[in-house]
Structure 1
Amino acid sequence: MITPTLHPLPGTEHGGLPYLPAGPGTVLWGRLPCDGDAPVLRVEPGRRFVVDTVSHEGILEDQGRDPLRWFAERGVEAADVPRDAVEVAATVEHDPLRWGPHVVTGPVEVAGARPGDVLSVTVEDLALRCGHGVVSNRHGRGALPGEFPLAGGTGPFSVLARVDAAPDATGTGTGSMPVAPGDARRVRFPLRPFLGLVGVATPGQRLHSVPPGMHGGNLDVSLLGVGSTLHLPVQVDGAGFYVGDPHYAQGDGEVALTAFEAPLRAVLRVDLVPAAAVRLRDVLWAETPELLVPIGLDPDLDEAVRRAVRTAVALLADLGMHPAHAYAYLSAAGDFAVSQVVDRVCGVHGTIRKADLAELLGARA
């Protein structure tokens, strides 16, 4: 087997780290945690922990809410369907007419977190939990809602994707899917695992899991894999951190509606920037070892681009560039990509090479 199936672990630790499983009592289905939700784990800032995620694909109501049957019909052995996915489908409350599709693990209380602080979430490791996943288009959604699913199709159109080579020490791996129904030929592509949904709790009622916002949530920024850090403005005491929507691969845009959706086991570290030390407010951004990643969100894609550019200018100005020079630099050397156009609120992310900013970053250090 290329990728052994990682079922839920016994106990509350894994490899000496706190372990948070994904199952009844530790997940919400289709909604995001709010300040009224009791934490399912408590961690100190700077502490690493392990968390499991469950993919919604294969367990949803329009797929029968029976992952053992659904995957068996596509040639997957029962032993290779994670047991927590089966348990979530069978027992966790979900209303598909009112709530989103995502299975959300959390909330995690970060000790001492207060509104005005910034929670920095670093992805230290991502392990594939099985050797298969799903890409779906459904209900006239996606980038071409009037054209797909194709005429005559009923329900979701789902393609089973497989892991051909799991990511190695360099982070590279390969996935594939058939080129047509019943065709043995396959199209192959790199695996780039990441958590599509990472966020903090909000005041008031639980939010729908689909639209992202200043709370983070369903950002679907494919760069946020191992080694990345996402900076989130804390909105409630304890932060109420959560994750979900695991991917093995996603193209920028996620045009069909979902990408290579499949469960991940993550090792995460959460650090806290106290409010007095926060330099930029009301912005969303992330970074990798090589890049600064400004993020813009809006229902209108044009405005999402503008917001990403404004955030990029603010990041560069904070490092010491004159805003007009920052704007010019971004035109000469910055890149902006569509994160996704399928989550009600569109997302755009920029990439700024840290190597270009060596003198500025060196002065900040």
Structure 2
Amino acid sequence: MSWLETSILATRGEAAGKALSEHTITEAEQGTYHYVYGPYVDPVIEVDPGAVVTVETHDAFEGRIKHETDKPSEILNFPYLNPQNGPIYVNGAEKGDCLAVYIKSMVPRGPQPAGTTVIMPDFGGLVSTGDTALLNPPLPERVRKLHVDPDTGVRWNSRLTIPYQPFIGTIGTSPEIEAITSLQPDYYGGNMDLPDVRVGAVIYLPVNTPGALLYLGDCHAAQGDGELCGVAVEHPTVTTIQIDLIKGWTLKWPRLETEDFIMTIGSAKPMEDAARIAYRELVRWMASDYGFEEIDAYMFLTQTGRVRLGNMVDPKYTLGASVQKHYL
């Protein structure tokens, strides 16, 4: 029996975790990709719970960086980064509900080298930025184009290959009233850059507006904890997700479930506030759904909790706090 049959998706979802319809969002069907999360654009597609949607995502640069001789500062128009597919309108979704998204598969698309990573001026975890203003000159710009293969991995050079471990860097639902850049993570999800949002995981997102309005994009072929230089191995993909709806499950922040653990996700700056949000939400989840007294959960996570660093470069930083399911 697959663990999904006992997941929150299956036991609480309106479609009971079943795939009931199939849809696509090709590049042509998407048309304009979006750089803002918000309720002010028309949905590209409308689906019922149980929908399986196959999406053609762009890389974080919408394919504009093509050669290692390219200069990102001359080609990219900041903040037009992280193009998003969607929004996807989910019938029946209302404020206070939860959208459940099971990530079924991700594969590279387009010509090789499909992967791109760069050094950009005044962007990254170990350099001065607009917020961390220093007198040091920017690092020199650099572009690497990388061959990405699901079977053999990401070819860094003739000696080194990185495993292909794809995940969705930016996914979330629309805020109720705000329009927020797709570069920023927050309570609705967004640019979390959390490697656990990967194939085989279910991410649970708060519904803030009718239809939920799901956005996704910015898929990564590989990334270490922190996305240190600010850019992972970005690549265009064909990503397939399955969408379900959990009525009346009101979340303040995103949650995630895998076969082995549950996770709560917080985004804030400074980084310790992101960790506090994530752990507070995990404590409360264990108390509300798993029979723990809140103070006991707090003490227990002190001994067993784990923290995953998503990004340390965006306007807000993202951390996930998790506990293994066998303890629950």
2:52 equivalent to 1:48? yes
The answer to whether the Cα contact below 8 Å between 1:125 and 1:267 also exists between their aligned partners in 2 is yes
Runs of at least 5 residues in structure 2 that lack an aligned partner in the other structure? 1-20, 130-135
2:239 equivalent to 1:266? yes
- The 5 A counterparts of 1:1-365 are 17-23=22-28, 25-32=30-37, 34-57=38-61, 59-60=63-64, 63=65, 67=66, 70=67, 96-97=77-78, 99-130=79-110, 131=112, 132-146=114-128, 154=140, 156-163=141-148, 165-167=149-151, 173-178=152-157, 185-204=158-177, 206-275=179-248, 278=249, 281-318=251-288, 319-357=290-328
Q: Secondary structure, in 3 states, of the residue corresponding to 2:170? A: strand
How many Å separate the matches in 1 of 2:295 and 2:216? 37
The answer to whether the Cα contact below 8 Å between 1:57 and 1:262 also exists between their aligned partners in 2 is no
Shift of 1:309: 1.0
Under a length normalisation based on structure 1, what TM-score does the superposition of the two structures give?
0.75
Shift of the 136–114 alpha-carbon distance from structure 1 to 2, 3 Å rule, reads: same
How many Å separate the matches in 1 of 2:179 and 2:29? 17
Q: Give the letter aligned to residue 160 of structure 1.
A: K
Shift of the 95–136 alpha-carbon distance from structure 1 to 2, 3 Å rule, reads: closer
RMSD of Structure 2 on Structure 1 (CA):
2.5
The answer to whether the Cα contact below 8 Å between 2:195 and 2:310 also exists between their aligned partners in 1 is yes
How many Å separate the matches in 2 of 1:311 and 1:157? 39
Under a length normalisation based on structure 2, what TM-score does the superposition of the two structures give?
0.83
Larger Rg: 1
Q: Give the letter aligned to residue 33 of structure 2.
A: L
The answer to whether the Cα contact below 8 Å between 2:121 and 2:138 also exists between their aligned partners in 1 is no
The answer to whether the Cα contact below 8 Å between 1:128 and 1:264 also exists between their aligned partners in 2 is yes
How many Å separate the matches in 2 of 1:285 and 1:121? 11
How many Å separate the matches in 2 of 1:344 and 1:152? 19
The answer to whether the Cα contact below 8 Å between 1:136 and 1:258 also exists between their aligned partners in 2 is yes
Shift of 1:162: 2.0
The answer to whether the Cα contact below 8 Å between 2:61 and 2:83 also exists between their aligned partners in 1 is no
How many Å separate the matches in 1 of 2:62 and 2:253? 35
The answer to whether the Cα contact below 8 Å between 2:50 and 2:242 also exists between their aligned partners in 1 is yes
Shift of 1:196: 0.7
How many Å separate the matches in 2 of 1:335 and 1:294? 11
How many Å separate the matches in 2 of 1:331 and 1:30? 38
Post-superposition CA distance 1:198-243 (Å, at most 9, x none)? 1112234532111111111111110111111111111111111111
Shift of the 152–271 alpha-carbon distance from structure 1 to 2, 3 Å rule, reads: closer
Shift of 1:38: 0.9
Shift of 1:330: 1.3
How many Å separate the matches in 1 of 2:60 and 2:253? 29
Aligned to 2:132: none
Give the % identical residues: 25
How many Å separate the matches in 2 of 1:105 and 1:58? 11
Shift of 1:22: 2.7
How many pairs were matched up? 296
How many Å separate the matches in 1 of 2:194 and 2:36? 20
How many Å separate the matches in 2 of 1:218 and 1:250? 14
Shift of the 158–23 alpha-carbon distance from structure 1 to 2, 3 Å rule, reads: farther
The answer to whether the Cα contact below 8 Å between 2:54 and 2:240 also exists between their aligned partners in 1 is yes
